[in-house]
A = this chain, B = another copy of it.
Amino acid sequence: MTEALKRTLGTCYYPEHWPEEIWEADARRMKDTGLTWVRVGEFSWSRLEPVPGDLHFEWLDRAIDILGKAGLKVVLGTPTATPPRWMIDKHPDMVAVDAHGNPRKFGSRRHYCFSHEGYKQESDRIVKLLAERYGRNPYVAAWQTDNEYGCHDTILSYSDAARTAFRLWLRDHYGTIEALNRAWGNVFWSMEYRSFEEIDLPNLTVTEPNPSHTLAFRRFSSDQVAVFNKRQVETIRAHSSAPISHNYMGRITDFDHFKVGDDLEIATWDSYPLGFLEDRVGAAPDHQRTYARQGDPDFQAFHHDLYRAVGKGRWWVMEQQPGPVNWAPYNPAPTKGMMRLWAWEAYAHGAEAVCYFRWRQAPFAQEQMHAGMLRPDNADAPALQEAKQVAEELRSAPDVSSPQAPVALIFDYDADFAWAAQPHGAGLSYFQLVFDVYKALRKLGLSIDILRPETRDFTGYKIVAAPGLIHMPEDLKRALSGCSAQVLLGPRTGARDKNMVIPVPLPPDIPGLDVTVTRVESLRPDMPLALKKSGTAAGCFRGYREELEGAADIVLELENGEPAAFSNGHMTYVGGWCDEEGWLHLLRDLCKSARVQTFEVSGGVRCRDTDGTRIWTNYGSDPADTPAGRIEAAGVLFENL
Contact = CB atoms under 8 A, between A and B. Distances in A.
Interface of A: 14, 16-17, 43-47, 50-51, 79, 82-86, 89, 96, 100-111, 151-152, 154, 184-194, 198, 200, 202-213, 278, 285, 288-289, 292, 323-324, 326-327, 329-333, 361-369, 371, 375-379, 381-382, 422, 424-426, 500-506, 518-524, 526-527, 547
A522 B210 contact: no
A200 B108 CA distance: 12
Contact of A329 (B89, B292, B425, B521): B425
A75 to B, nearest CB: 18
A364 B188 contact: yes
Contacts of A16: 187
A382 to B, nearest CB: 8
B369 A109 contact: no
A364 to B, nearest CB: 2
A188 B521 contact: no
Contacts of A17: 185, 187-188
Contacts of A424: 326, 331, 369
Contacts of A333: 519, 521, 547
Given A506-B377, A519-B381, A189 B363 contact: no
B289 A189 contact: no
A188 B526 contact: no
Given A191-B107, A376-B504, A523 B332 contact: yes
B107 A190 contact: no
A292 B154 contact: no
Contact of A527 (B208, B324, B332, B500): B332
Contact of A203 (B50, B51, B105, B188): B105
Nearest to A204: B105
A84 B100 CA distance: 23
A330 B379 CA distance: 53
Nearest to A543: B330
Contacts of A371: 519
A156 B100 CA distance: 19
A208 B366 contact: yes
Contact of A522 (B100, B154, B212, B330): B330
A376 B208 contact: no
A366 B191 CA distance: 11
B108 A189 contact: yes
B362 A109 contact: no
Contacts of A151: 207
A325 to B, nearest CB: 10
A256 to B, nearest CB: 22
A364 B104 CA distance: 34
A435 to B, nearest CB: 21
B330 A202 contact: no
Given A152-B206, A426-B330, A211 B107 contact: no
Nearest to A209: B107
B185 A362 contact: yes
A431 B50 CA distance: 40
A378 B504 CA distance: 9
A366 B425 contact: no
Nearest to A516: B377
Contacts of A285: 524, 526
Contacts of A210: 107-108, 365-366
A507 to B, nearest CB: 10
A368 B501 contact: yes
A326 B424 CA distance: 6
B190 A103 contact: no
A205 B365 contact: no
Given A190-B43, A363-B504, A518-B375, A205 B82 contact: no
Contacts of A206: 96, 104-105, 107-111, 152, 154
A184 B365 contact: yes
Given A82-B191, A323-B519, A364-B500, 11 more contacts: A17-B185, A85-B194, A100-B100, A109-B189, A152-B207, A188-B364, A188-B365, A188-B366, A207-B366, A278-B524, A381-B519
A210 B212 CA distance: 39
B425 A331 contact: yes
B192 A422 contact: no
Contacts of A83: 190
Nearest to A379: B518
B188 A85 contact: no
Given A104-B206, A212-B364, A330 B524 contact: yes
Contacts of A202: 107
B330 A425 contact: yes
A515 to B, nearest CB: 14
A205 B369 contact: no
A326 B421 CA distance: 13
A96 B82 CA distance: 30
